[in-house]
Structure 1
Amino acid sequence: MPKKSWNKFVGTCQSAITFTAKVSAGLPKQLQFDKNGKKLPTPYGLFVEWAEASLTGDWSSTSIRGGGFAVSVELQTDAQIVMTTFGTIGAFQKTTVSNRTIQVNYKDSDYAGLAKKLGYQL
């Protein structure tokens, strides 16, 4: 499914599960392009590429000031895909995003592995 705008999604999908991750807002200067000249996405952008290829239901994401992002999914099956692929840190958190928010275990050090899985040549 294509990504929906954040405000529209959260306004219509009250039972969505939201995942957050703390990652760098950008890449080091030496990591701007892969070996084939493809521009490398930020850690958040790479997660969005993975989500576009992996999630089947409605979803949305937004960056969080200072680094990190939130991705919200409507389907429990998509939530399970996120949790199985990346793992989680703890249980539901009290955040300003939603009362059904879980921190996903996606971090900067996971970038290279995920980039390779998505076809980037590092």
Structure 2
Amino acid sequence: MADLEQKIKESLEYLKSQFAAVRGGRPSPKLVEDISIDYFGQRMPIKQAGSISVNPPREILISVWDRQAVSIVAKAIESSNLNVSANTDGNLIRINLPPLSAERRQELAKVVKKESEEARIKIRSLRD
């Protein structure tokens, strides 16, 4: 029984992490922190290359610790599926998030619904 509870908790934690990566009305560091970059032959998330902060209402700031990695981080952000552009200023990268359109909100609602349905199916299969 304890094993079942642990697996259900893991499924719910995974679902929470997936929801955190979906862009809502406000910016969140979780949108960009796990984007992978290739830094001198090693794959690493952006959160290991610099500090990430939010500047309300719709801006994410990334202060990259190594000046040589700024262009690498900016390219990784622009090639991600966030559909944003990264503006560099020295070691600082600014990401301005446009307001959500009605189409994008519908797309995000579909993603959330799909993720929650997958989690529901997984939990159901664990119980059986």
Question: Which protein shows a greater Rg?
Answer: 2
TM-score of the superposition, structure 2-length normalised?
0.36
Higher helix share: 2
TM-score by length of structure 1 reads: 0.37
* Relative contact order, higher structure (CA 8 A, sep 6+): 1
